[in-house]
Structure 1
């Protein structure tokens, strides 16, 4: 059942500046199906002197080889995740239309299917205005952070959404531009991350639609993904964004381990996206924009020789590290989880030889939350502000302070990290803001660790 409120008249063509994208063409998708080899723009680059090689990672506005990314994800903003905000969930589910059961809105897709449009529009626009503001950017800067990663859905462009998907476009694109302007004002670097693509790349609610993975199944899904990337690359390669928006992430968390079709698609999509970032459609010169590729849960080692050396200079590798999901992790004591974190140091060190490698998502929460039987760590050097109004036990906060410092040291064996997430209204142990407030996260992300130069010394 589709919502009666979404547009039936989206054009398949859009002029954007001097560009016209024809979204009906599926020739590139057909070539992918035929298994054509990877191609890059670097043939021209290969003819150049090394000293003239255009736009290395440091030319993007941040030196991803020699400096450290320290950032936060702006989750649950332009693509909501209702587990992070029960107030938003309750507000959307309070005005259902033709819903099969109560609380039927669980993701962006069902919000379009079962919402009263006027009510949902009001609720979401208010959410966009309040969940993330310029004051947040100032607070991020004051916390010693230098990056934000902005999850962004393809349906923010009505032309990519098309006439049949029920997603609510609203003013998401305008809010993205506003946020990038705040970042530019306050000296914060931005990754724009295509977090949701047509058909879903992973079946998770954070793709916009929970359920089956359909992204690889239709040529138009791939073409609309390309359209979205081209729109972002074209805009953010303009001079006013140079040095602020440093990269566009091609797709968040494609589930390549569970779907060979997804795997085969990203093997072709990433080279295309690398080229589109380097030289968007109708561009006459190289940009300074980089392409971020997520590892597809295949692990950084899988990608070591995927791009040759010349092509790789435009690529950042994003890998997401969580220690909360598997049955084994849930059975561990805290010390076991710290050992898993420390074991990743060699992975980041090795991957750094091929690409600037960043933990683009991670957290400090335990898989069982504040369960006292998990605690087996000595009291660490971190002192918490005076209680007693802590959200968690001091033992759990002690574990999170260990986890923060150990993971920070681990990911800085590579090019750094971007925490998930800046804010979480429902689960404060997933919130960087809350960690700052209660002390398990330090006030300055760049300050020396209170655990010493090698916080993994006892956990190898």
Structure 2
């Protein structure tokens, strides 16, 4: 069955590359018939499930410590330290408690209609080199359960290959390991990732819980434009399209039910993702926008509001701003001028300004749903509770 075939009404689309809209082209409804995209005019309004299936210790130090991983830099390091059986038990307890069905219900009550689910290639356990790679096992059942809750609630789901074989960037826990160098950009690692994509495509089209997964991101935040990025665009991207589409064709999937294949957009800096692609049918693009790390923007409240109000993210179509936050540069984030508790008016306006620009595109997915930072600038859940984000997103202040 197609990703939405049990709950969709198909609509006409204008051009192949820009055909995708959950409301316009594929009607997604909750089990009670509710269409979450009606109130957003078809725009993605979502949250990332950070540290659910790819744990980044900075997001949840307390949970990380409770798992027995305190002092370890990544999932790979924690599993190596605990041993496979103890790690499996610890991670399965985490997977069952970090994001629950109550969280999905809370997201929907806030007007959110989408989740982005970061996963690692090790979710397909036979891809892991047992003699040299160490990752938790048993995650698939938890991914399935979570996607089932979201599908029942009528949410759209983006499945994101967040941690690629060999690590797509060096020394970053979001790859699942603190690799000394980015080892992803060689043929045998591409092949492991391609096998993951084929496998995930098959699951999405056959497992009921995955019925609202409409988009598969082929790699999160690869290296920026250099020889490795060129290799990825020239070798990995075309093969990803070829292998995903071959899987769908062989399974008899109607083209209207094909997955959208997502790549980082050109603004990310890895070059033009379309350069070596012959067929852009249901291609989609991911833009990550953190002013925190944009040194070209003056660090002031007025500057951030102005930049966000006038931010043109129109590089590829359709683009989703798949990661962004309210965090500011490290050297000022703890100062009184930027203190979240005493500057809620600014952060409220800045959130609205970013939404204003990102909804000129296909929409947005905030990083992240929850965190243990005592800082709502990285936690959508905490920002709502702090009054910075309204429970009704259509009541956002007009600041631009």
Question: Structure 2-normalised TM-score?
Answer: 0.83
Correspondence 1:158 to 2:122: no
SS in 1 for 2:158: strand
Task: Specify the alignment match of 1:361 in structure 2.
Answer: 323
Task: Specify the alignment match of 2:372 in structure 1.
Answer: 425
* Aligned residue runs from structure 1 range 50-199, under 5 A: 56-58=19-21, 59=25, 67-93=42-68, 104-199=71-166
Q: Which runs of 5+ in 1 are unaligned?
A: 1-49, 95-102, 376-391
Which entry has the higher C-alpha Rg, 1 or 2?
A: 1
* Aligned residue runs from structure 1 range 4-19, under 5 A: none
SS in 1 for 2:347: helix
SS in 1 for 2:157: strand
* Aligned residue runs from structure 1 range 430-441, under 5 A: 430-441=378-389
Task: Specify the alignment match of 2:181 in structure 1.
Answer: 212
Correspondence 1:347 to 2:295: no
Equivalent residue in structure 2 for 1:290, among 250, 260, 263: 260
Q: Shift in Å at residue 160 of structure 1?
A: 1.1
CA separation in 1, counterparts of 2:336 and 2:319?
A: 35
Q: Shift in Å at residue 172 of structure 1?
A: 0.9
1:421-441 per-position Cα deviation (integer Å, ceiling 9, x unaligned): 000112432000001101101
Backbone CA RMSD of aligned residues: 3.1
In structure 2, relative to structure 1, the CA distance for the partners of 1:230 and 1:301 (3 Å cut) is closer
- Maintained 8 Å contact 1:254/1:296: no
CA separation in 2, counterparts of 1:363 and 1:51?
A: 32
1:161-195 per-position Cα deviation (integer Å, ceiling 9, x unaligned): 12234322322111111111101111111011010
- Maintained 8 Å contact 1:322/1:363: yes
Q: Shift in Å at residue 118 of structure 1?
A: 3.9
- Maintained 8 Å contact 1:253/1:296: no
Question: Structure 1-normalised TM-score?
Answer: 0.73
Correspondence 1:405 to 2:367: no
SS in 1 for 2:96: helix
- Maintained 8 Å contact 2:17/2:317: no
In structure 2, relative to structure 1, the CA distance for the partners of 1:261 and 1:347 (3 Å cut) is same
In structure 2, relative to structure 1, the CA distance for the partners of 1:266 and 1:104 (3 Å cut) is farther
Task: Specify the alignment match of 1:371 in structure 2.
Answer: 335
Task: Specify the alignment match of 2:230 in structure 1.
Answer: 263
SS in 1 for 2:45: strand
Correspondence 1:337 to 2:308: no
- Maintained 8 Å contact 1:274/1:314: no
Task: Specify the alignment match of 1:35 in structure 2.
Answer: none
In structure 2, relative to structure 1, the CA distance for the partners of 1:172 and 1:223 (3 Å cut) is same
Equivalent residue in structure 2 for 1:221, among 189, 214, 221: 189
> How many residue pairs were aligned?
369
